[in-house]
Structure 1
Amino acid sequence: MESQVEELKQLVTDGADALSAKSKKERFDEQSWDSLKSSPLYEVLREYKDVLTHDIPAELPQDKGVQHEIDLLPGTKYCVTREWPLPREQVKAIDDSLKVVRSVRDFAPSYFDDGFIHSRAVNGKSDVEMHKEHLRKLFALMRKHKFYANLKKCIFGASEIPVLGCLVGKNGVRPDPGKVRVINEWPTPSNVKELRQFLGIAKYLCKYVSNYAGKIRPLSQLLKKDAAWDWTAECQQAFDAVKQGLTEAPILAVADQDRRFHVV
């Protein structure tokens, strides 16, 4: 576990992009057709096996020749600055892709290049039967528009899935136990850099800690410019309070107005 703490420290130092990439890379157990044979969804998955591939088919766009020609005055240089960070053709392709999946977002919302399909029992149909219907609708769209999913990175028929460092299920959202364990075993900071690293990783799960901003106030004071490093008993208490808050983290869900609930 000490090695995991050191690895997370380095990722926080490298930045949020590195942390997200690491989490995404390791959050899945590799899937295969053999491992899915016992799944009640196997028949549907095999029906659309062409969109669940390890290797995306390589297709070159049609050669259209010269796209345009701009006459320039002798001795002048053409402008190479783009109006958008991506070529306009790629921006349009992304917009078109989002429009395609919009028709199924009621049961298959997407986040960047990730998709999540959720189903529940409706009109006498079981949750598995509804899930099969939803899978067929999404896979049919993918097949029509030549979208592909990497089978190795897919999870099927799960009651809970990892999303952005949390676990999402029918009861709500809870923090990833692995990340909570790493934070709880984080050593006491001995300087500002180590404190920033701790608060950087804790911030990913701060929504589960009631009054998080108030609890870390003594720690935030140490990050102020020209502040002297003085790890007091109050700082230690705040440090422990964050860990304790994550240990007792509630399951977050949309409020049911007909029942009692607490706001975190």
Structure 2
Amino acid sequence: MIWMRFAKDLYDERIKQICILSDLERMKSEAEELRQLHAASTTESEDTRSAKTKKERFDGQSWDSLKASPFYDVLRKHKDVLRDEIPAETPQDKGIQHEIDLVPGTKYCVTRQWPLPRDQVKAIDDFFDSRRQAGQVRESKSPHSASMFCVKKPQGGWRIVHAYNKMNDATIPAQTPIP
């Protein structure tokens, strides 16, 4: 069940009761594994991580650093889809066009943009101006629209968030299983 539909059904009281079956011992062992994985992945301090630039983080994921990964052979086999440097332009058109199926009878999904603080507007404008100059985005011709806002990043700066609630509700989920 899709979580959004589940939340709506729960809110509309179409779901009266939830029963969660669990194995307490298995849950405890999985929680301990997660704690250990988290401890291993957070060996570098928050200060060190926030001080790294995007390029330094990108370089830290080089082919040499991935050799210990169990997925290294698969990654090397499909290396044509992975970049060796931070992309500055859109990838070449490979002739594959993506389409999203909408529920029949759906009108245009238009959400008005709500007012934002000036610093968020500046962050959004700067982001899209730089992407437009690099050729990564173009002016939209879509009749659909979604509001956007920004969330403060832990390292500083803004993360742009799009409110696609209306569009998600009008979208028919893909029936193709994810491999």
Q: TM-score range by the shorter chain?
A: under 0.3
TM-score by length of 1: 0.19
TM-score by length of 2: 0.25
Larger Rg: 1
